[in-house]
Structure 1
Amino acid sequence: MATKKEIKEILNLALPAVGEMLLYMVVWVIDTMMVGQFGGKDSVSAVGLASEIIYTFSNIFVAMGISIGVTSYVARSIGAKDFETAKKYASQGILLGTIVAIIISLILFAFAENFLIIASATGNVLFLGKIYIKIASIGIFFNMLMNVLNAVLRAQGNTKTPMIAASIVIFINILLDWILIFGKLGFPALGVKGSAIATTIAQFSGFIFIMLYYFNQKILNIDLFDIINFDKQIIVKILKLALPASLQEGSFDISRLISIFMIMHLGTVAFAANQIATTIESISFMPGWGFAVAATTMAGQMVGAKNYESAKRYTNIAAFFAVAIMGTMSILFLTIPYPLMRAFIKDTDVIAVGILCLMVASIEQPFMAVGMVYGGGLKGSGNTKTPFIISTISSWFIRLPLMYIVIYILNLGVVYVWFVTAIQWAFEGSIMYIYFRKEIDKLKRGVRNI
């Protein structure tokens, strides 16, 4: 039975994390809305496709890869009261994240057009998308560094500071969006280009804030020498956890990217409707992500302290709140889909298709919440391989084959694609729950060494 103290701890961790991600999603949402109001479906498609490519790289290698490895090791070290080891994992994680961020940013800048062509972008969408990626590749470098720094803070149980950083990012981004997209305060109207510049400046500002916080608060007493003092053994251990987590995110994101390429086959209306519906749905799964962060942190700390029952209880509490909040979002998708779509675009054809997509999206919300939280619990306990295997099966052996059948064989519309993703999440959520419970039982029996 969960205690008030455990519930309070989960909420103290999860709510700032939820707030942080909601703030980032608000940036994306408002970005899409402003670009859509300025340039219509071509601009929405260009920014949507370019963003998918950029954040696919960032999520696979850093946000859901290196950051997960860092959070898990630092949290378990803190749970075991071994702060010197926590410092080593944190500093080497920052070094590793910096190296990877440089490589990814250079690849995105150099091959922007190639990625868009592979995605079947043509004409104005290709032209605008290329501009967006080249500019945003600079901003995503600072975003990835900030993500690794935030991973260390979350492992300590500090989710409030990353939320404050997100507040700074959103304020600067929205203000500059308004100025640069529409040409306010004497600036020229730059449209998509203005959106990319605004995002880059905002991400750089957020990174500077987190860096200053680190120096002022002396987080784990990390200094520059700790970061540049390459420790092969620590790096390898982080990579051993990060690689399966990266592969899991890669399995999901690359399959989703392929799905987007397939949807491009259905035309601009279908693609724009899908992108806007996805943007709206993304707001709903931020609570799932926030409570997954809480589950990863608390499961990691409890497993480090060898308190396995508490690890299970904390994760169950996180799952309960995630399902409750995302279930409420399901109701909104069913009852008010028109005003949600209308806020983004005026095109009646896009709105009509998007409404149906949102209504189908209501089915998958509770399953998505369960999958995220129990997957986070598994990662916190040090098991990143099982979530990778489950995600691979659901993405590559359920989602993609069914989407191919729906789009290319049955010639059905994009709405049926959303039924496919509902099936995928129902499978993934159920299996994550089952394997989390098995993992905790193994740890209690001493089957797996931590």
Structure 2
Amino acid sequence: MLEEKKTDILLGFIRDGKPMTLKQQLRLTVQLSVPAIIAQLSSIIMQYIDAAMVGSLGAEASASVGLVATTTWLFWGLCSAAATGFSVQVAHRIGANDMKGARMVLRQSLVATLFFSLLLAALGAAISPSLPGWLRGDISIRQDASVYFFIFSLFLPALQMNFLAGGMLRCSGNMHIPSLMGVIMCVLDVIFNFFLIFPVRECCVSGVWFTIPGVGLGVIGAALGTAAAEMVAAGVLLWYLLTHSDKLKHVRSEGNFWPKTRTLRKALRIGLPMGIEHVVICGAQILTTVIVAPLGVFAIAANSFAITAESLCYMPGYGIADAATTLVGQSIGAGRRKLTRSFAHITILMGMTIMGMMGILMYVFAPEIIGLMTPVEEIRTLGVMALRIEAFAEPMFAASIVAYGVFVGAADTLVPCLMNFFSIWAVRLTLAAWLAPAFGLKGVWIAMCVELCFRGLIFLIRLKRERWMKQFSI
């Protein structure tokens, strides 16, 4: 609580127009980034848990989840974009010391995003029977993949509320509660999965035998366990946001929850390009899955595990990007151009440094990382190869991730969306389609490494030119 109070004092310097030394800027960036990184890492640990538990069931179970993984990320991204369209408005209002306006945007966002997530849930449930076939998955894994995605789709409203409540708290400067709930969600995921995935079994500890209860649902249990953990986290975050947040709580607060045209228009201007960007990236990942699928079950599983494992490296970048969005958003709301530029540079340098070090660790410990998720040797060999190729791209990947967070805080999302579209579709997929027939999964990951370096470069160029600061009048 003391650390949170110190953070709020420094954020108050932004809102009140007080000068900030470089040391204070660095301290505030670290104070916001560390909890955000923990929250992002907890999300990845949850994916590791699911991957490891499902991986213990065999290659086909792993492949069934891996087949639809990119499509679940697409739906996640759309929910995240919808939440960000409103939370960035809240950051700007708080930066301008307009707390009443911030609460007004929050009220309207609850109805708008819930309606949006219900539409997504209906769409996901409708396509779930056909999705594995569209992705050219093997007949042996289609049934489990279809049911897994169906369950995921049904619980999208809970995921949406999780994203919205966490995003609102972060944009208000409260990184600690979303971080704490991320950790709790991981613990709950382990507990739920432990009982839902595996059947009743006997266990011996120090010569004492006892029975461990279990439902034995396998892949379906993994989907239900994750969904249950997300529901609990969403409920707690919403409760805290609406009753305990210093800036956004709605106890004895009056106002209409029905979305206003002006608020929706701003949310669309911010969130729609982000949604398109997620469609572009995840569409490319889905197409990559289509490229990988003919390479066999081992290649599908290894590709999925390597993507999950790599996320351990890049999630710190996303945590720092969350901090960058808050810092830039509040600085712009306060009308402080010089401070906006300074926070942009600090966060990007921090992200590149941390992810560069994580890339080194990923290269060295790739066998151990993949080994945690699967006992199948063929999958391990392919996964280690993929991780060691990707390790070289981590610093430039960080540049693109954090710079994107900066641009989101400035409500500048259209041009970055177009940049991502060109980089992924013109560079990554072209190279992957060209290299995969000759080099297999290795060719796909070489293409990814080259594209991430190119993307980081063009994002740094845009940051340097400062055209994203044209939105400064917001």
Q: Per the shorter chain, which TM-score range?
A: over 0.9
Distance 1:336 1:54 in 2: 28
Give the aligned residue type for 1:51: A
> 1:226: how far off?
4.2
Deviation at 1:441, TM superposition (A): 8.0
Other-structure match for 1:393: 422
| SS state at 1:187 partner | strand
Please, which of 218, 223, 236 is the counterpart of residue 209 of structure 1? 236
Show the counterpart of 1:305.
334
Correspondence for 1:323: 352
User: Is residue 134 of structure 1 aligned with residue 153 of structure 2?
Assistant: no
Q: Check whether the contact 2:243–2:250 (CA below 8 A) recurs between aligned residues.
A: no
CA contact (8 A) 2:42 2:183 kept: yes
Task: Return the TM-score normalized by structure 2.
Answer: 0.89
How is 1:265-276 mapped onto 2 (pairs within 5 angstroms)?
265-276=294-305
Distance of 1:225 and 1:253 partners within structure 2: 40
2:206 is the alignment partner of 1:190: no
The 3 A distance-change label for structure 1 pair 397 and 312 is same
Q: Residue type matched to 1:399 in 2?
A: R
Residue pairs, 1:4-15, within 5 angstroms:
4-15=23-34
Give the corresponding residue for 1:374: 403
- Matching of residue 412 in structure 1 with residue 428 in structure 2: no
Within the alignment, does 1:119 sit opposite 2:135 as a pair? yes
Task: Give, in angstroms, the shift of residue 22 of structure 1.
Answer: 0.7
Instruction: Provide the residue aligned with 2:64 in structure 1.
Output: 46
Contact 1:323/1:369 (CA < 8 Å) preserved in 2? Answer: yes
Q: Distance in 1 between matches of 2:277 and 2:466?
A: 18
CA pair 227-148 structure 1, distance change in 2 beyond 3 A: farther
Letter in 1 for 2:322: V
> Is the counterpart of residue 57 in structure 1 residue 75 in structure 2?
yes
* Contact 2:189-2:226 within 8 A present in 1 as well: yes
In the alignment, the residues of structure 2 paired with residue 349 and residue 442 of structure 1 have an alpha-carbon distance, to the nearest angstrom, of 49
What amino acid does structure 2 have at the position aligned with 1:192? Answer: V
Q: 1:191 to 1:304 in 2, by over 3 A?
A: same
Q: Matches of residues 407-446 of structure 1 in structure 2 within 5 Å?
A: 407-408=436-437, 411-439=438-466, 443=470
Distance in 2 (CA, whole Å) between partners of 1:439 and 1:67 is 26
Q: What is the Cα deviation at residue 438 of structure 1?
A: 2.2
CA gap 1:283/1:331 in 2 versus in 1, 3 angstroms: same
Q: Indicate the SS of the match to 2:442.
A: helix
CA offsets 1:219-255 (integer angstroms, 9 cap, x no match): 5244797463231221111111111111112111111
Q: How far apart, CA to CA, are the structure 2 residues paired with 1:186 and 1:298?
A: 48
Q: Deviations over 1:401-431 (max 9, x none)?
A: 11111124xx321112111111111111111
Provide the rounded CA distance (Å) in 2 between the counterparts of 1:392 and 1:142. 29
Offset at residue 20 of structure 1 (A): 0.7
Q: How many pairs align?
A: 442
**Amino acid of the structure 2 residue aligned with 1:186:** P
Aligned to 2:174: 158
1:3 counterpart = 2:22:
yes
Give, in whole Å, the separation in 1 of the partners of 2:468 and 2:279: 28
> Measured at CA, do residues 4 and 165 of structure 1 come closer, stay the same or move farther in structure 2, by a change above 3 Å?
same
Distance 1:192 1:347, change over 3 A: same
Task: Flag structure 1 segments of 5+ consecutive residues without an equivalent.
Answer: none
Contact 1:315–1:374 under 8 Å retained in 2: yes
Equivalent residue for 1:24?
Answer: 43
Pick from 82, 99, 116 the counterpart of residue 83 of structure 1: 99
- Conserved in 2, the CA contact under 8 Å of 1:298 and 1:311? yes
Query: Cα RMSD between the aligned structures?
Result: 1.9
TM-superposed CA distance for 1:91, in Å, is 2.1
What SS does structure 2 have at the residue aligned with 1:285? Answer: helix
Aligned residues of 2:313 and 2:362 also touching (Cα < 8 A): no
- Report the more deviating stretch, 256-265 or 45-54: 45-54
Q: Distance in 1 between matches of 2:58 and 2:303?
A: 14
Report deviation, 1:264: 0.7
Measured after TM superposition, the shift of residue 188 of structure 1 is 2.9
TM-fit CA distance, 1:112: 0.5
The separation in 2 between residues aligned to 1:401 and 1:8, in whole angstroms, is: 43
Query: CA shift at 1:138, angstroms?
Result: 2.6
Question: CA, structure 1 residues 309+421, in 2 after alignment: closer, same or farther (shift >3 Å)?
Answer: same
Among all aligned residue pairs of Structure 1 and Structure 2, give the percentage whose two residues are the same amino acid: 24
CA-to-aligned-CA distance 1:311-333 (integer Å, 9 cap, x gap): 12112221222122211121122
- Between structures 1 and 2, the one with greater helix share: 1
The whole-number CA distance in structure 1 between the counterparts of 2:111 and 2:468 is 35
Q: Residue 86 of structure 2 corresponds to which residue in structure 1?
A: 70
